[in-house]
Amino acid sequence: MAYMNAPAAPIPLDGEGESRLSFVRQPRSSVNAVSEILAGLASQPKSLSPKFFYDSLGASLFDRITVLPEYYLTRSERDIFKRYESHIAAALGTGRILIEPGSGSSEKVELLLNALRPGAYVPLEITESHVLEASRNLVKRYPWLTVHAICADYTGGMDLPASLPPGQRLLFFPGSTIGNFEPADASRFLREMHRVCGDGGSLLIGVDLRKDEAVLNAAYNDSEGITARFNRNILTHVNRLADADFDIEQFQHMAFFNPIESRIEMHLESLKDQCVRVGAREVQLEAGERIHTENSYKYTVEGFQDVARLAGFTPRETWYDEAGWFSVQLLDA
């Protein structure tokens, strides 16, 4: 990759911390977004990648989901980080090179920064404004912290700049984002994280667990309808990305637990026979036909550890919230 060897040029900062922040950017691939959208809508059943949920409205709707009474995932994980902060830090030691794919606003890592005291923090985030704002705030708030920010789509693999400081690596992948990956893609991504970990590296990962179906179904069908708005907003985003004319009023949110696949599925169900223009193409939908927008796999601890072992990891420790609904797992590369 061309960007791999590009020097990490320090970006200008007004305030303090400039010398502790560098930034590199992977060449944009928005052309691929359009062909990915078209391919998904041409397949049977129709689908859209959940990564298209997150335009700025989608990101703020997701933030509202995380504080809903029914959506326990974020709360449970935060409880684990707070409660076991010192255990996690003791297991990992300080001075690690802390790498976070899909870092967003870097909120979660802050819960562990003081305890982990990493040698450097390396956030990888597709939205440049998010990674820059988060990184600027971090170097201001943590005067000892060095940040190497990378704007990249990690789903295509992680090509880290050769200029990263040496040291034992810690990959941080919270939020049960791994649940969005199909089993084959989860295996592939775990192998990729194993490669990036290198010798002596570790992975700290948040994994949502299989539980009572009523709890799972409620978490994705909240009474305020925020998840429904989040789901339908993918069409608004696709309208902009691919010059399409979806009318979100003509689609209904649908989310349910599929026990055979052990996953929550989200779909958008067409309320009528309709024809939608997507760029130069036309997409036909029948009444009741669905567009599959997300899977959120729910693992058992043992089931996830088996997958991780096949990717080369050795499970070391697992921490749970009080209800035992969510897990944070430490795996050695």
- State both tokens at 106: 């870097």
| Under rule CB under 6 A, residue 73 binds ligand AVJ | yes
Coil vs helix vs strand at 56: helix
Q: Which is nearer to ligand AVJ, 294 or 321 (CB)?
A: 294
Q: Is 327 in the site for ligand AVJ (CB under 6 A)?
A: no
58 binds ligand AVJ (CB under 6 A): no
Least distance to ligand AVJ from the beta carbon of 176, Å?
4
Q: Which of 303, 300, 296, 297 is nearest to 320 (CA)?
A: 300
Q: Does 103 bind ligand AVJ (CB under 6 A)?
A: no
Q: Is 227 in the site for ligand AVJ (CB under 6 A)?
A: yes
CB of 29 to ligand AVJ, least distance (A): 21
β-bridge mates for residue 124, sequence order: 101, 150
Which residue has the CB atom at the shortest distance from ligand AVJ? 296
Minimum Å distance from CB 188 to ligand AVJ? 17
User: By C-beta, is 233 or 296 nearer to ligand AVJ?
Assistant: 296
**Is 65 a residue that touches ligand AVJ (CB under 6 A)?**
yes
Cis peptide before 45 (omega within 30 of 0): yes
- Which is nearer to ligand AVJ, 66 or 318 (by Cβ)? 66
Say whether residue 179 binds ligand AVJ (CB under 6 A): yes
Residue closer to ligand AVJ (CB basis): 20 or 108: 108
Among residues 119 and 179, whose Cβ is nearest to ligand AVJ? Answer: 179
Please give the C-alpha separations between residue 62 and each of 44, 71, 224, 274, 298, in angstroms, as whole numbers: 28, 11, 13, 28, 19
Single-letter residue type at 255:
A
Shortest separation between residue 215's beta carbon and ligand AVJ, angstroms: 13
* Per CB under 6 A, 293 contacts ligand AVJ: no
Q: Are 323 and 76 in contact (CB under 8 A)?
A: yes
Q: Please state the closest distance from residue 221 (CB atom) to ligand AVJ, in A.
A: 10
294 lies in the binding site for ligand AVJ (CB under 6 A): yes
If the CB atoms of residues 228 and 244 are measured against ligand AVJ, the closer one turns out to be: 228
CA 147 to CA 138: how far, in whole Å? 8
Q: Using the rule CB under 6 A, which residue among 17, 123, 175, 201 binds ligand AVJ?
A: 175
* Cα 266 from Cα 190, distance rounded (Å): 24
Provide the minimum distance between the beta carbon of 74 and ligand AVJ in the complex, in angstroms, as a whole number: 8
CB of 168 to ligand AVJ, least distance (A): 27
The span from the CA of 230 to the CA of 74, in Å, is 16
Q: How many residues bind ligand AVJ (CB under 6 A)?
A: 11
Angle between helices 226-241 and 56-65 (to 10 degrees): 170
The 8 Å CB, 24+ separation contacts for 77-82 are 77/108, 77/174, 77/175, 77/176, 77/206, 77/321, 77/326, 77/328, 78/108, 78/111, 79/321, 79/322, 80/319, 80/320, 80/321, 80/326, 80/327, 80/328, 81/108, 81/111, 81/112, 81/328, 82/111
Q: What is the distance between the alpha carbons of residues 302 and 304, in angstroms, rounded to a whole number? A: 5
**Given candidates 26, 180, 233, 327, which one binds ligand AVJ under the rule CB under 6 A?**
180
Spatial distance between the Cα atoms of 235 and 48, rounded to a whole number of angstroms: 9
Rounded to whole angstroms, the Cα distance separating 48 from 39 reads: 9
Per CB under 6 A, the list member of 296, 305, 327, 329 interacting with ligand AVJ is 296
Asked whether position 220 contacts ligand AVJ by CB under 6 A, the answer is yes
Binding site for ligand AVJ (CB under 6 A): 65, 73, 175-177, 179-180, 220, 227, 294, 296
